[in-house]
Amino acid sequence: MKHMRYFYDKYHFEGIFNGFYTRFDSKEEHWAFMLESLKMILNIPPQKPTYEYLKKLIGNKPVHFVTTNQDTLFKKFFPSDQVSEIQGSWDYYQASDTSTDQKLYSTKKMVAKLLPKVKDHCLPTELIPKSDINGSELILGARGPQFLEGKRYFEEHQKWNKFMADHRSEKILFLEMGVGRMTPMFIQEPFWKMTQYLKNSFYININPKDAMTNPMIHDRSLLIGDDINKLVQKLRRKTMTNKAAKIVKQWLDDADAILVAASNGLSISEGLNLFANDKKLKEVLGDLVDKYHLPNLLTAFAFKYPNQLDYWRMVARVVEYYGNNYEISNYMQDIKKIIGNKSYFVWTSNIDHHFALVGLTNLFEIEGNWFEGVCSNHPAEHSVHYLASKLHEIYEKDQAGTLTEADIPKCDECSATLALNMAGEDFQTNQKQVQAFQDFIQKYEDKKLVVLELGIGPRNQMIKAPSM
């Protein structure tokens, strides 16, 4: 992220996509930007659960996805044989001269090898990747003047064609989401033509800006100008049948105990989105957003501040807003009602401490929480400090303009600066929570234990994999 801030400050582009098309001062600098960008794109999960909603909405129906998106997200949620990336993918590079080299080069391997060698925001000239065969410089395998329409390109189209051949006599829904008017010939116009000629088909266009259809299929079209994520979420909720709801209720009623497993999705539902770049970010962090070009709360916690005062300003503002001023949400109220008087335990990677704040204290916070601090010099040896009142004091002085270096939290035993007790080098797992969790599992391992999973994405295997 520190490299991205450098490029933003220098070129002032908004978003990574615009950065791809920025004219950099040098080829070496452009490569450094690309390597850092691709590391983020291929590793950071989606900021909204749209793909998860879509997957649940579709269920077991035959489906195929045709996309001009090159961010590889569809293949993270659906089998590759169900996805046609017809405009290439950021998952691979290709030679700029494809006349003699039609190989594909792994982006992940390239990033892992070259990113550590970037110096002063530039990749050394001698390390710029070249074709193994003809020595031409490598370029992203995405639509452009030199795009390789080779074996992979035709295979992506063949997958789509096979799906249509297998199902052309059946009732087909062409569901178009967020396809703009920049390149209608790749998806939109083929969808219109197939809807016209396949009489058992229907066409839905979901697009907040450009929901439109061809007059020839107007009577078999539905145009929706809503937010895609919110709409898919609503549709998903409506597909949960009364039968399924009764089964869930029966399981909960019959359970001897309930294990609540929760992650970032629950926090987002409560209004705390670590990945969001929205108005609330500025409301919470104030002048620090512009001062350090902070795109979201996750970056705010990871950022290397030039001074400790601004770091603790950030922490205090976040904790004051989401912690000290926390009011129980409808979601938390529902969780407490579901648990009722049953034995329970909460297993969470959320750092907001909200479960404890609403009285659900049978709790294992596997990545800590932002109310606790540990000694930066002796994290394992010295005791953990509870910082709620101290952070409130910092917030009050910050607002009054009286905050000084003397207010920075210090270890009671050696006066070293404290660090937040969250996942990282100094993190100290709460051993009492670990023991309590182990006791709970052992007590109910041969009884009816319902695992209630809330907001855990497919990439969070710390909780999802063991709970399954």
pLDDT digits 0-9 by tens, 342-397: 999 999 999 999 999 999 999 999 999 999 999 999 999 999 999 999 999 999 99
* Predicted confidence (pLDDT) at residue 42 exceeds the cutoff of 90: no
Cα angle 315, 319, 320; round to 5: 115
Query: Which segment of 1-10, 35-44, 164-173 scores lowest on mean pLDDT?
Result: 1-10
- Give the Cα separation of 370 and 95 in Å (integer): 47
The 10s digit of each residue's pLDDT in 240-254 is 555 566 778 888 899
**Of 334 and 461, more confident:** 334
C-alpha of 59 from chain center: 22
Dihedral of alpha carbons 451, 456, 462, 465, sign: positive
Task: Give pLDDT tens digits for 67-109.
Answer: 999 988 999 999 999 999 999 999 999 999 999 999 999 999 9
108-146 pLDDT per residue, tens: 999 999 999 999 999 999 999 999 999 999 999 998 899
Residue 133: predicted pLDDT? 96
Task: Report how far residue 48's alpha carbon sits from residue 278's, in angstroms, rounded to the nearest whole number.
Answer: 13
Long-range contacts of 31-34 (CB under 8 A, 24+ apart): 31/114, 31/122, 31/123, 31/128, 32/3, 32/118, 32/121, 32/122, 32/123, 33/3, 33/7, 33/121, 34/140
CA 358/CA 247 separation, integer angstroms: 28
Amino acid residing at 381 = E
| Measured CA distances, 22 to 14, 68, 70, 180 (Å) | 10, 21, 18, 22
Give every CB contact of residue 71 below 8 A, 6+ residues apart in sequence.
Answer: 41, 90
Over residues 271-278, the mean pLDDT reads 89
Confidence of residue 456 (pLDDT cuts 50, 70, 90): confident
Average pLDDT score over residue span 4-25: 84
Contacts of 150 (CB under 8 A, 6+ apart): 98, 102
**What pLDDT, in 10s, does the model give residues 282-323?**
999 999 999 999 999 999 999 999 999 999 999 999 999 999
Q: Of residues 80 and 455, which shows the higher confidence score?
A: 80
Specify the amino acid at residue 9. D
Q: E strands within 270-330?
A: none
Kindly state the average pLDDT of the residues 401-416.
Answer: 95
Answer yes or no: is pLDDT of 460 > 70. no
Q: The pTM is what?
A: 0.51
**Closest by Cα among 212, 209, 206, 236 to 224:** 206
Q: For residues 121 and 36, what is the distance between their CA atoms, to the nearest angstrom?
A: 10
pLDDT band at 1 (very low <50, low <70, confident <90, very high): very low
Query: What angle in degrees, to the nearest 10, is found between the helix axes of 27-43 and 107-114?
Result: 120
Q: How confident is the model at residue 468 (pLDDT cuts 50, 70, 90)?
A: low
Lowest mean pLDDT across 23-32, 42-51, 389-398, 429-438 = 42-51
| Rounded Cα gap, residues 189 and 418, in angstroms | 59
Instruction: Give pLDDT tens digits for 174-224.
Output: 999 988 888 889 999 999 999 999 989 999 999 888 889 999 999 999 898
Of 355, 353, 413, the C-alpha closest to 383 is: 413
The confidence score (pLDDT) of residue 102 equals: 95
- The tokens 């030679």 sit on which residue? 95
pLDDT, tens digit (0-9, with 9 covering 90-100), for 387-406: 999 999 999 999 999 999 99
Q: Across all residues in the chain, what is the average pLDDT?
A: 90
